[in-house]
Amino acid sequence: MAPRRYDSPVRDAQSATTRARILDAALALLGKEGLDAVTIPAVAKAARVSVPTVYRHFPTLDDLMRGFLDWIRPRVGQTFERLAGPAPELPRIAGENYKSYESHAALLLPMMESRAFNRVRLGQAGRRAPMGAQALRPLAPRWSDRDLEGAAGAIYAFIPPTAWRWLRETWGLDPETAARASMWAMRVLLEAIAEGRGLDDVPAPSAAPRRKKKGARS
């Protein structure tokens, strides 16, 4: 006979409190000392709990990073529920998110450097394309799923923290210009879809004209 499981609201509340305490300590370490400081023993010490207690809530660093992402996503507007809304709202969402990225930069940037962050991020890749295609479907009801997913990828590429970071660090834009540029590009793409211009509606690159050799007859 399988052992009976006793649910206790008090025990569940205590577990949630302990989990939040561990996450708070880990986030404080991340923001103050950087990614290298975030180890299970260091988090346990900062949270004033035992190492086994941390492992009980977060068996691996990947699990801890997943906890970070679950904590920060709603604070920077990156929940699936928010991004799956009406497509015309996406540029506005991007502008709001960029402001949130700036205010949480001390936590976001170290997180984005970690391999665990990328493993967690890539692990959810299968959900994104169908979500984007569904959001664009009202604008292009006759498009194939494949074309909608491709168009959605081009639009949604401007929303995440990776785009914000690239525009800010690699391209050297100030925060306001980075947000405005992203919103503008997304609006242009959405207008193209609404006008019926699809992925194949792009002129093929023309071949470069050959230079004539000296003395050759025309």
| Domain boundary assignment for the chain | 15-59, 75-194
* φ, ψ at 206 (rounded to 5°): -80, 145
Residue 16 and residue 21: Cα distance in Å, rounded? 9
Asked if 108 and 101 count as a contact pair (C-beta separation under 8 A), the reply is yes
What are 52's two structure tokens?
């086994």
Residue 104 and residue 158: Cα distance in Å, rounded? 18
Question: Nearest-CA neighbor of 47 among 11, 72, 12, 17?
Answer: 17
On the question of pLDDT at 29 being above 60, the answer is yes
Element at 28 (helix H, strand E): helix 9-33
Residue 172 and residue 119: Cα distance in Å, rounded? 27
The top-level CATH class assigned to 15-59 is mainly alpha
* φ, ψ at 112 (rounded to 5°): -70, -15
Determine what percent of the chain is predicted with pLDDT higher than 70. Answer: 89
DSSP code at position 3: P
Residue 110: predicted pLDDT: 87
Q: What is the mean pLDDT of residues 55-69?
A: 89
What's the pTM value of the predicted model, to 2 decimals? 0.80
What tens digit of pLDDT does each residue of 87-120 get?
999 999 999 999 999 999 988 998 888 887 788 7
Residue 69 and residue 61: Cα distance in Å, rounded? 12
Question: Nearest-CA neighbor of 58 among 81, 27, 31, 34?
Answer: 27
3-state class of 173 per DSSP?
Answer: coil
On the question of pLDDT at 154 being above 60, the answer is yes
Residue 189: predicted pLDDT: 97
Among 15-29, 30-44, 114-128, the range scoring the smallest mean pLDDT is 114-128
Residue 116 and residue 137: Cα distance in Å, rounded? 33
